[in-house]
Amino acid sequence: MSYFIRQTQLLLFFALCLFAFLPFGKSQKYSNEFLSIGVGAGAHAQGLAVTARAHDVTAGYWNPAGLTALIGEEKLQLSAMHAEWFAGIGKFDYLGISLPMSQAERRIGLSLIRFGIDGIPNTLSLYEADGTVNYDNIVEFSAADYAIIGSYAQFLNIGENKLSIGGNIKVIPRIIGTFARSWGFGIDLGLQYKTGAWQFGFTGRDITNTFNSWKITFTEAEKQVLLATGNELPPLSSLELTRPSFQLGVARQITFSEQLSLSAEMDVFITTDGQRNTLISGKPFSLDPALGIELTYHAFLFLRAGINRFQREFKADGTEFLSMRPGIGVGLQLGSFLIDYAYTDFGNSQNRYAHIISLRMDMKPRKQ
């Protein structure tokens, strides 16, 4: 019976992968791109190369199969992160929680993500009916993208090694003031496999395509202002399609002593929504590699570095050069708390650096 269940799960997995490439309609490049930013300062410091080694509550985002690393530990794990991009204009917030289940080899998680730009002035009411300007009519609104991600993971025993499988169900609300809003739904799949010092990971995001249904909610007065100022009214409703993307990772751990170890990982991000400015660019597949390392001392101090997002850019004289996004960081385990810090930039000539801080907390039940 267990063999039959295992084969059924594998067949379902491959069927979903094939289903992802069926031509459902036209997709928008960079749709729901806020979900590619990444969560956890530790991951940012390692160039986002964590698919094979994701092993805590943030695995609900990176690779849901990684939640199985928490199986056997009867604890609740929480994580939170705040980051600001473009000199504080864009704010990214993340909150994650992972819980054990009554079944011994299963784990669930919940991730909440918000990426928003707040305080945008709304000038549609700037003019009075007689044509005079009234700055008191200006109000502010926010453009925010949200994601609610429910995760599930469990072990599949294969010989002496462990294969972990996990999945996500995503709900994606996106809001632009009172003018427009959408609801999206998607599914992710993840696998992790460990053998000796080697670890392998696979994450398939939006494997069945993710659909965002938009609805425009301009008032009649706002429509008149838009038309009077030479703007075109967008359609009252539309469908935005997010094509699948994949992340493959291979990692190896080197143990120097009981107190000192080194983990290194190489990942490849694969997009299917058309040609992008990546190291290997093509249609419809574009590949972007990432490298990350983590040095662990006594399970207390974590030193990290990584690079990712290689892009071809041009200087003012037309000379082409290859840019990349580097990252460095440190983590400290203080009792039940893990504090992570990362320092990274966008890998472009403008050097917009960002400081990222995240916190993880373990909560164990009291012993009777």
Instruction: Give just the sign of the alpha carbon dihedral 37, 42, 43, 44.
Output: positive
C-alpha 274/C-alpha 28 separation (Å) is: 9
Asked whether residue 204 is domain-assigned, the answer is: yes
Asked whether residue 60 is domain-assigned, the answer is: yes
Asked whether residue 140 is domain-assigned, the answer is: yes
Asked whether residue 276 is domain-assigned, the answer is: yes
> What is the reported pTM?
0.83
Radius of gyration of the chain (CA): 23
pLDDT of 9: 40
Asked whether residue 264 is domain-assigned, the answer is: yes
pLDDT of 236: 77
pLDDT of 263: 96
pLDDT of 267: 96
Asked whether residue 368 is domain-assigned, the answer is: no
pLDDT > 70 in the chain, percent: 87
pLDDT of 16: 37
pLDDT of 17: 39
Given a cut of 70, the residues of the chain with pLDDT beneath it are: 1-29, 87, 127-131, 159-161, 346-352, 365-368
Asked whether residue 163 is domain-assigned, the answer is: yes
- Listed in sequence order, the DSSP H helices in 204-321 are 220-228
The answer, yes or no, to whether the previous bond of 326 is cis (omega within 30 of 0) is no
Number of domains in the chain: 1
212 φψ region: left (φ > 0), alpha (ψ -120 to 50), beta (else): beta
C-alpha 219/C-alpha 179 separation (Å) is: 8
Whole-angstrom CA distances from 247 to 56, 285, 329 are 18, 12, 22
pLDDT of 115: 94
Q: E strand or H helix at 289, and its extent?
A: strand 286-297
Question: What residues make up the domain containing 78?
Answer: 2-363
**Where residue 196 sits, what CATH number does that domain have?**
2.40.160.40
C-alpha 345/C-alpha 335 separation (Å) is: 30
